[in-house]
Amino acid sequence: MSLRKRITSVAAATVAVAVAIAVLVSYFVVKGQLVGQIDTELQAQAAAVQATYGGPHSQFPGLAADAGGSAPYWQVVSMRGDIANGVVPGKQPLPAGNQAAAVANGTVPDYFSNVFVDGARLRMYTFNVTPPSAYSGQTSFAVQLARPLDAVDNVMRTLRWALAVIFLAVVALAAGLARLATRRVMRPLAEVTATAQLIGETDDLSQRIAVREDDEVGQLATRFNEMLERLEHSRAQLDASVSAQRQLVADASHELRTPVTSLRTNIEVLLSGAKLDEEDRNRLLADVVEQSEELSVLVNDLIEVSRGDAPATGVEDTRLDRLVEEAVDRARRNAPDAEFAEHLQPVSVQGNPERLVRAINNLLDNAALHAGHGGAIDVTVDEIGVTVRDHGDGIDDRDLPHVFDRFYRGANSRARQGSGLGLAIVRQVAEQHHGTVTAANAPDGGAVFTLRLAASAVPDDAGVPSDAEVSA
């Protein structure tokens, strides 16, 4: 059974129970009032009998017509249970028995009962009467008054039919209204179902559900839309990641092809047994060593880039100025022709020292590569982060938007050795540390690279280098 049918059934059943209770209460209230009216008339005549009736030979008192008239059935019962006198419009007397005798003796209180006499249903009232003078040794006796219940039964029969019709009509109306109401309430749920089915069939996460009301169903639609938005965003990120991985593999294959081919060719020449003079052999061996180093650098860069945008691990409080100072010392050894000028303020960052040193080394190597023979390189560390400026030819305006792309080689770099991954690694490290890196041309010539990190100033003599800093 569908949810809408279940809700309709529950609503109809609830209304049916409520209407049934109301019908039963109404039925018994009306019945009690009608029977109570007869009981009142019987009690009124009983009061007149108790006040004036002196025995079987006395005039039996009745009621006026405007007070309901006298009871058509009456009889007197002695203390022994015998019927002493009475008027019963039939051959069968009113049922007396031991209970009526007990009322005559005063041991049982007055009572009402429903009896059948000659097929007629009667309402009978049995009560005790003590006459002012004894009659044949009887100090008291019981009088039974009875009125027919035909009128009450007819009214109740008609009322039963009317209440049954009303009950069925109200239940049917409630079921119809519940069906209409549930159709309106279930429309957003039906839209959720249809949207989920459409997404399952078409794999289209751009579908959304219209939110019409700010109720529970509307909140469900809102949460469903938010879930779809997150799924669509995750799908886009996954697609971008897969695309980036494919591009990385393609670019890496392209970059590896040239040095591997050249290395293989040189080795094959050396192994061919061809007669080579000492100078040619040494030149080939030098090429093999150079190409092996180039492959080693490229493989290391690929390993670094393959980490992607994963958050940096091993994060600790690190003195950025000391990392840069060590990196500059390394750069001086690797590029003795470059002139490095340091402007280092004592600042601290939260980061992975090894990754940060890798990014700084790449910036310094890039600056030394483009500074030219004897070129000056300015290295600044402050609360902004690390700024490296060379005084070379600068960056071509067409290359500026792409200098941090993987395997991108600008117009000024294509003739130089390199993998095209160094600056991409810098951007990756910056993003892993919630920072940024930018490149620009200085007004008076040269390029300026700024690695922005969340750095904070510290006293110059605060702390000592950590083991990670020393290792880095």
Question: pLDDT of 73-118, one tens digit each?
Answer: 888 888 888 887 777 776 678 888 888 889 988 888 999 999 988 8
Phi then psi dihedrals of residue 317, to 5 deg: -70, 115
pLDDT over threshold 50, residue 464? no
Q: What is the pLDDT of residue 209?
A: 72
Q: Beginning with the edge strand found earlier in the chain, give each strand of the sheet holding 83-87 in spatial order.
A: 83-87, 73-77, 141-148, 120-129, 111-117
Question: pLDDT of 402-458, one tens digit each?
Answer: 888 877 766 555 445 555 678 888 898 888 888 999 999 988 888 999 999 988 888
Q: How many CB atoms lie within 10 A of CB 282?
A: 11
Counting every residue written for the chain, the total comes to: 472
Question: pLDDT of 20-34, one tens digit each?
Answer: 999 899 989 999 999
Written as six digits, the tokens of 102 are: 């007990």
- Given the candidates 3.30.450, 1.25.40, 3.90.320, 3.30.700, the CATH classification of the domain at 3-156 is 3.30.450
End-to-end Cα separation, the chain, in angstroms: 69
In this structure, of 1-5, 106-110, 207-211, 337-341, the range with the lowest mean pLDDT score is 1-5
Q: Which of 50-64, 73-87, 124-138 has the highest mean pLDDT?
A: 73-87
Tell me the one-letter amino acid at 436. T
Written as six digits, the tokens of 184 are: 């309106």
Q: What is the pLDDT of residue 7?
A: 77
**pLDDT band of 466, cuts 50, 70, 90:** very low
| Rounded distance between C-alpha atoms, residue 271 and residue 249, angstroms | 31
Question: Is residue 354 exposed (0-12), middle (13-18) or buried (19+ Cβ within 10 Å)?
Answer: middle
User: Is the pTM for the entire model greater than 0.85?
Assistant: no
DSSP states along 11-78: HHHHHHHHHHHHHHHHHHHHHHHHHHHHHHHHHHHHHHHHHH--STTSPPP---GGGT---SEEEEE-
Tell me the one-letter amino acid at 144. Q
Q: What is the pLDDT of residue 472?
A: 44
In this structure, of 111-115, 208-212, 279-283, the range with the lowest mean pLDDT score is 208-212
Q: What is the pLDDT of residue 25?
A: 92
Tell me the one-letter amino acid at 198. L
What ranges do the domains of the chain cover?
Answer: 3-156, 216-305, 316-471
Q: What is the pLDDT of residue 414?
A: 46
Q: What is the pLDDT of residue 8?
A: 77
What CATH architecture is 216-305? Orthogonal Bundle (1.10)
Q: What is the pLDDT of residue 248?
A: 65
Long-range CB contacts for residues 253-259, cutoff 8 Å, separation at least 24: 254/407, 255/298, 255/407, 255/419, 255/420, 256/295, 256/298, 259/291, 259/294, 259/295, 259/298
Q: What is the pLDDT of residue 443?
A: 86
| Rounded distance between C-alpha atoms, residue 355 and residue 449, angstroms | 17
| Rounded distance between C-alpha atoms, residue 372 and residue 377, angstroms | 10
The pLDDT of 193-212, averaged and rounded, is 77
The pLDDT of 460-464, averaged and rounded, is 53
Question: Has domain 316-471 been given CATH number 3.30.565.10?
Answer: yes
Q: What whole-number percentage of the chain has pLDDT above 90? A: 16
**pLDDT band of 244, cuts 50, 70, 90:** low
| Rounded distance between C-alpha atoms, residue 258 and residue 444, angstroms | 37
Using only C-alpha atoms, what is the Rg of the chain? 55
Q: What is the pLDDT of residue 158?
A: 92
The pLDDT of 50-71, averaged and rounded, is 76
Same fold, 216-305 and 316-471: no
Q: What is the pLDDT of residue 437?
A: 92
Q: What is the pLDDT of the chain when averaged over all its residues?
A: 81
Written as six digits, the tokens of 41 are: 């008339």
| Rounded distance between C-alpha atoms, residue 433 and residue 71, angstroms | 106
CA distances from 70 to 10, 47, 88, 127, 268 (A): 53, 12, 13, 16, 140
Half-sphere CA count of 275, side-chain side, radius 13 A = 0
Q: Which residues contact 75 (CB under 8 A, 6 or more apart)?
A: 83, 85, 86, 87, 88, 93, 94, 96, 143, 144
**Do 316 and 440 form a contact (C-beta atoms < 8 A)?**
no
Half-sphere CA count of 26, side-chain side, radius 13 A = 13
